[in-house]
Amino acid sequence: MQLDHTAAIVTGGASGLGAATAQALAEQGATVYAVDLAASIEKAPETKGVTYVEADVTDPEQVRTAVATAADGGVPLRTVVNCAGVGPSMRILGKKGVHDLALYAKVVQINLIGSFNVLALASEAIAKTEADDDGQRGVVVNTASIAAYDGQVGQAAYSSSKGGIVGLTLPAARDLAQYGIRVCTIAPGIVETPMLATVSEEFRTSLAAGVPFPRRLARPEEYAQLVLSIVAHDYLNGETIRMDGALRMAPR
């Protein structure tokens, strides 16, 4: 599928994986709408071809408005990339007691339900566009994590939410096939994002040492590169792709 003269939505587009993806899509000729919270947009860099749209991915009306903004921009909406997410850590039973249920629900609400909300509402708009010569209308790329498979101590909520995204991938692809919309998921390993920048260099080095090859942390640009590959490869559908340097996470 071609990106030139099409529109794209990237959630969590103001930083990290989302920002790198928004830039990469714009460089390929797409008109990109980076959806994020106001506080994140305020800190976002100006990027040619990227328009920032304030919206909470868990709010259906805000997402409808953001989708309408992208769909009414004069070119067909073809690409959606869900990068918005959170990753707090808490044990099911720890020194401070039982895992906070509200926190568990919040993580699932943002990571899983938020991704589904954007996927569903954006697919509604994409389905109304004219298909290309091969019957294609668009592609949705969701973001899981290797924690969906190798969840560590303290990652019960995060792993649950990302495991849900993996489980969503195939039925979503099957549901949307009749509209010419593909659905794939990327499950990154440890990526150098702003969240990771808060930890010490020593800890970052120890994380990188656990990756078989290449023995380093992944870069947001590599995630963006994989998104471009999925968009371009018309036969990729219903698949979750691990991007982790063959890393399999230990319990802790």
DSSP one-letter string for 155-186: BHHHHHHHHHHHHHHHHHHHHHGGGTEEEEEE
Q: How much is the pLDDT for 114?
A: 98
> What are the tens digits of pLDDT across the range 82-131?
999 999 999 999 999 999 999 999 999 999 999 999 999 999 999 999 99
As a whole number, the mean pLDDT across the chain is 95
Question: Length of the chain, please?
Answer: 252
Mean pLDDT over residues 68-88, rounded? 97
The single residue listed with the structure tokens 């656990």 is: 210
Structure tokens at 123: 């697919």
Evaluate if residue 198 carries a pLDDT over 70: no
66/53 Cα distance (integer angstroms): 6
pLDDT digits over 163-194, tens only? 999 999 999 999 999 999 999 999 999 999 87
Question: Which residues are known catalytic residues?
Answer: 158
d(CA 193, CA 17): 7
Residue range 208-228: mean pLDDT, rounded: 95
Domains of the chain (ranges, CATH numbers): 7-192+220-243 (3.40.50.720)
- Answering whether pTM is above 0.85, one says yes
What's the pLDDT score for residue 194? 75
Distance CA 40, CA 132 (A): 35
Residue 199: band (very low, low, confident or very high) from pLDDT cuts 50, 70, 90: low
Model confidence over 3-46: pLDDT tens digits? 999 999 999 999 999 999 999 999 999 999 999 999 999 999 89
Handedness of CA 66, 120, 4, 145 (dihedral sign): positive
Q: Round to whole Å and give the CA distance between 72 and 252.
A: 47
